[in-house]
A and B are shown apart, each in its own frame.
Chain A
């Protein structure tokens, strides 16, 4: 009986610690004025004034659109590049295949700051400084290695008879990818794509460095740079409102696609 109560308490504690901070952010975002500065677990006079202020005082809608465009573009590009590469890496025998896969994986260990100055020069020389395509380009370094790795793992799990039948019928590689693999591979594409989307959506260092104006900022930078009248007077209500706006869709996305994400993470880590 004691063991059961202790177990139940552990479960309650885990849930409280996991979702408590987000809950408190929601409470804060609904408060203004002096209510904000009296720590309490429930808003006394809930108001959406902070939510209105987030959009009124800075181009936050534009920031959200920027994040969606960059993350979406990065997902499409990474998946397109990774699917073709994964097919070859998983199916075609050639010398140095293991070395190539290892090199690709090692890129995912690169500290971002190590490429920061080089990437800055690259983006500037392409005329893409302070633009969304420039940012998207830099994100490929973060998403390509693990999308290639994960999709290669998934393609290896597909039985060979499938494409052997297609080869017998005279299909080329692109037809095989499009007609044979993609239909079987779509759950893998969903989980890989989601992880790539989350990486791009959350990225901060590149976004902070490669954008300059409020109109090209993505959401994480916009939130980090919200400031008040003075440095010591941060508008916490507005910051929390902005945080809730960008977090809730992420949480919903992750919860809806829970199974896919977990299978993707474990395919990338455990089986690799």
Chain B
């Protein structure tokens, strides 16, 4: 009963992953990968005539790792805070609540490529509505180059990601909020405890398990981000993430060897992050357990 599913997953997940790892140790090019020769660790790190080569010796690789980490930490934290705030608002009873909830889902429903294009247009330096609005409000004197300036383009990528994924966070938190018993809040209200205190002392600890799951999902997702960065800022070194770097090596530079080596590193980093998170979660669970 399980065999068909397991067989398909072996073919489309395990086998390609194994092939990628193997290619990382060869001098293959995707055009004629059949006659690739094993070259050991050379795609990762090698020294020829006093000069270091390989992914690990490439400053752009380390910059991509840094970019990915900055992107992940910034976007996941912002999404978490905003997601909880939006969920708290949606948890209240007010007229038109169903419509507002529906509206919040819209950014999530828009394909990533489309949202990247939409924002690229709104952030356009000459004709974009964002610069026009900022200038109209007197906040800036000259138009900003949102997708070209090294610092601003990172801000733009993070901003668009937060816009796109906050609904996911808000929905998961809202689902957790709705499972909480209402009588605790009654009791807190009767005792005259300030709502902010109630949130930090009662609500937050109760929704923590759901929140942690959502954060884990989003973190692992952010570490492999590709579509948004690639469509919004192409292969710009300032925002290049690990996935964008690996694809550039593989496809644009037609170097299956180094590209696969970089892809393997991306896999290892994400697997390591997952393992760390799971271990931390388990240790914490044991502390809190009976």
Contacts and interface: CB of A to CB of B under 8 A. Distances in A.
Interface of A: 7, 10-11, 14-15, 17-19, 21-22, 24-25, 28, 36-39, 81-82, 84-85, 87-89, 92, 100, 104, 106-107, 109-122, 137-138, 140-141, 144-145, 148, 173, 198, 201-202, 204-205, 209, 219-221, 223-224, 236, 239-240, 243, 246-247, 250-251, 253-255, 258, 261-262, 265-266, 269-270, 272
Contact of A255 (B2, B4, B105): B105
A110 B105 contact: no
A89 B2 contact: yes
Sort chain B's interface into a size bin: 35 or more
A184 B114 CA distance: 36
B20 A10 contact: no
A28 B120 CA distance: 13
A112 B220 CA distance: 12
B152 interface: no
Contacts of A261: 105
Nearest to B267: A114
Given A84-B4, A113-B226, A250-B111, A28 B19 contact: no
Contacts, number: 253
Contacts of A116: 16, 20, 246-247, 250, 259, 263
B163 A85 contact: no
Contacts of A250: 109-111
A247 B118 CA distance: 11
Interface in B91-132: 92, 94, 100-115, 117-119, 121-122, 124, 126-129, 132
A253 B109 contact: yes
B30 interface: yes
Given A14-B100, A87-B1, A114-B17, A269 B214 contact: yes
A119 B16 contact: yes
A265 B172 contact: yes
Contacts of B163: 17, 21
B6 A22 contact: no
Contacts of A258: 101-102, 105
Contact of B172 (A100, A223, A269): A269
10 contacts: A37-B126, A100-B6, A113-B242, A114-B263, A116-B16, A117-B260, A118-B16, A122-B19, A253-B109, A266-B171
A39 B16 contact: no
B81 interface: no
**5 closest Cβ pairs, A-B complex:** A118-B16, A118-B19, A111-B224, A85-B5, A114-B267
A25 B129 CA distance: 11
A105 to B, nearest CB: 10
A16 to B, nearest CB: 9
Contacts of A239: 117, 121
Contacts of B224: 111-113
Contacts of B15: 118, 122
Contacts of B117: 223-224, 239-240, 243
A148 B102 CA distance: 27
Contacts of B33: 117, 121
A236 B256 CA distance: 35
B23 interface: yes
A204 B243 CA distance: 13
A197 B256 CA distance: 31
A21 B103 contact: no
Contacts of A17: 163
Given A19-B106, A84-B5, A224-B231, A247 B247 contact: no
